[in-house]
Each structure stands twice: as C-alpha cells, then as structure tokens.
C-alpha cells in the first residue's frame, strides 16, 4: 500500500459532480483498492456516499492510499484528478 497527500483547491469543495467522476475513475482502476482520508475518517473511494460523507471543503488536505498490482499508477491518477478539480 502506498499513500500521498493532496489538497483540494476547488472553491465549491467536493460536491456531487466531482465526487461522481472520482468514483467512476476509481472503479475503472479496479482491482486496485483506493481509500481517501480527511485525517478523521477513511473511506472507500469507490463509494460516492462515502466520499461525500467526508465533507471535503476547499483547502482540505486528503491522504489518498492505493493497494494493488498497479497501485502506483492508480495513486497518481487519483491524486492528479483531485488536484485538478476546479469547480
């Protein structure tokens, strides 16, 4: 398992649309297991309700973890996606 920190800079935070796109990306990266943590709670990134339950606001630093055969590539894609959310 590997992890990396990333800060969400989207002014609106993590709302339904980017959360849905994130979940779709994570499901496409299966069988790698991706989790996201806000420092208090860790959730499975393949569940939209779980991702939304973190209440991620602009400026929140998250820890993204990946486990699997292609964990490095999966982690890079998820971190890049989160860091590029603009709305």
Each residue's pLDDT tens digit, 7-43 = 999 999 999 999 999 999 999 999 999 999 999 999 9
Q: Which positions are annotated as active-site residues?
A: 15
d(CA 16, CA 32): 23
d(CA 73, CA 2): 11
Which residues neighbour 40 within 8 Å (Cβ) at sequence distance 6 or greater?
Answer: none
Statement: residue 71 has pLDDT above 90: yes
Statement: residue 86 has pLDDT above 90: no
Tell me the chain's radius of gyration from C-alpha atoms. Answer: 11
When the pLDDT of each residue in the chain is averaged and rounded to a whole number, the result is: 96
pLDDT digits (tens, 9 = 90+) for 40-61: 999 999 999 999 999 999 999 9
Is-contact 62 37, C-beta < 8 A? yes
């Amino acid at each position: 398992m590997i992890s990396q920190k990333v800060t969400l800079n989207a002014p609106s935070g993590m709302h339904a649309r980017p959360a849905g796109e994130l979940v779709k990306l994570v499901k496409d990266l299966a069988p790698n297991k991706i989790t996201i943590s806000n420092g208090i709670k860790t959730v499975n990134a393949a569940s939209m309700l779980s991702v939304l339950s973190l209440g991620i606001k602009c400026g929140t630093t998250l820890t993204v973890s990946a486990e699997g055969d292609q964990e490095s590539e999966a982690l890079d894609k998820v971190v890049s996606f989160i860091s590029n959310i603009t709305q």
